[in-house]
Chains A and B, each alone.
Chain A
Amino acid sequence: MCVGMTARVLKVNRDVALVDASGARRQISAALLPSVEPGDYVMVHAGAAIAKVGEGDAEESAGVLRGLFD
């Protein structure tokens, strides 16, 4: 389950963050990510940021596959 969406954090005000996904903005809860800062990328689900997101999916997947066939 769980449609997640990667979004960029624009503003943080205590437990509430304003995030942007390709131009669609929404206030979400940042209560699960105490150290989140503007500029971070987060995974958003049901109105809450559930995790910080590191690199992009392409680089990550290449990393996962690297060495597998050698």
Chain B
Amino acid sequence: MNRETITLAMGAGGKQTAELIREVFQDKLKNELFTENDGAILPELSGRPVMSTDGFIVSPPFFSGGNIGKLSVCGSINDVACMGARPRYLSAAFVLEEGFLVAKLEEIVSAMAETAGEAGVRVVCGDTKVAGKGQVDGCFITTTCLGEMVVQEAPAGARAEEGDAVIVTGDIGRHRAAILLARDAYGIEADITSDCAPLWKPVEALCQAGIPLHVIRDATRGGVGTVLYEIAHQSSVGVQLEREAIPVQPAVHGICDLLGLDPLYLACEGRLVVVVPESEAERTVEILRAFPDCTGAARIGKITGGNTGRVTLLTEIGTQTYLPEPGNELLPRIC
């Protein structure tokens, strides 16, 4: 590309659009299914089709441990994985801001290609629009993932049962902490890398081991606390956590202490909440820990019949409290 920045002409559908698609997208994402036609014709799937879609507007688009490209692939892949389905194909729609650097776009698309490759998923169709300066913030991406179910009964938010174990696949809150650092809003420095990762492989291992996966949820927006409340409501159960069993990286704790936040509400982009029968809890954690993105997997609590619709915490001094149900914008607290 001889142009350094994205221009409105690149989104106008003419020669420059074709050039952008050819040189940035097709070059990096090439595979025989991604053609110049209006749609992709896909082979038959080997299980019931599962589809999920997600929009990404993260600001800033680059952060420690990833960028919006990697994030947009992980997000949709993980949503499909949470259904007990193998992610196969992705679509990606970009809205770019006039003036965005082409070099940055190339980096974003490269990250998408790499992450998709790692997860065994192909990007088969896409779209690019250019919005005027100030109309969007740099680069927005929407991805849709199509996958095939590999389990008989899909894990679901309503399937948690009394006595089940609650497991997270690693230490929590790193993605949101990495974003806070990347924004440089509060003058804090720390060595924190986003947990952003595609998680089909560990889920596949759990499926192959025949573990009855009652619920799998990725703890994105609102963090683990929000996801657990969703499960509590959908399954009409209570969730009881042990505060000291919840894995949190010390630096994430440090940021939370500084800003008066609780790691349970920080978004993760590579962490799943998995609910399985108690008898399978140990095996589940063991299988997960064999994967590089899940070495910190831990059992953090259990599903209870009482306290329906609520998440409770066993505190460090042996008392039991409610975890406040999140509902508001996450704001740092000083007083």
Contacts and interface: CB of A to CB of B under 8 A. Distances in A.
Contacts of B333: 3
B254 A3 contact: no
Interface stretch (A18-26, A31-39, A62-70): A18-26
Nearest to B188: A26
B325 interface: no
Contacts of B188: 24-26
Interface string A22-54: 111111000000000000000011110000000
Interface residues of A, number: 16
Nearest to B250: A22
A24 B24 CA distance: 38
Given A3-B333, A3-B334, A46-B334, A24 B187 contact: no
A16 B307 CA distance: 49
Contacts of A27: 187
Given A5-B258, A21-B254, A21-B258, A26 B334 contact: no
Nearest to B333: A3
B245 interface: no
Interface residues of B, number: 19
A24 B335 contact: no
Contacts of A2: 334-335
Given A2-B335, A3-B333, A3-B334, A25 B189 contact: yes
Contacts of B257: 5, 21-22, 24
Contacts of B254: 20-24
Nearest to B332: A3
Given A1-B335, A21-B258, A46-B334, A26 B250 contact: no
Contact of A26 (B249, B258, B335): B258
Nearest to A3: B260
B190 to A, nearest CB: 4
Interface of A: 1-3, 5, 20-27, 44-47
Interface of B: 186-192, 249-251, 253-255, 257-258, 260, 333-335
Given A24-B255, A25-B188, 12 more contacts: A5-B258, A21-B258, A22-B253, A22-B257, A23-B192, A23-B250, A23-B254, A24-B190, A26-B186, A26-B189, A44-B258, A47-B187
16 contacts: A2-B335, A5-B257, A5-B258, A22-B251, A22-B254, A22-B257, A23-B192, A24-B251, A24-B254, A24-B255, A24-B257, A25-B188, A25-B189, A25-B190, A26-B186, A47-B187
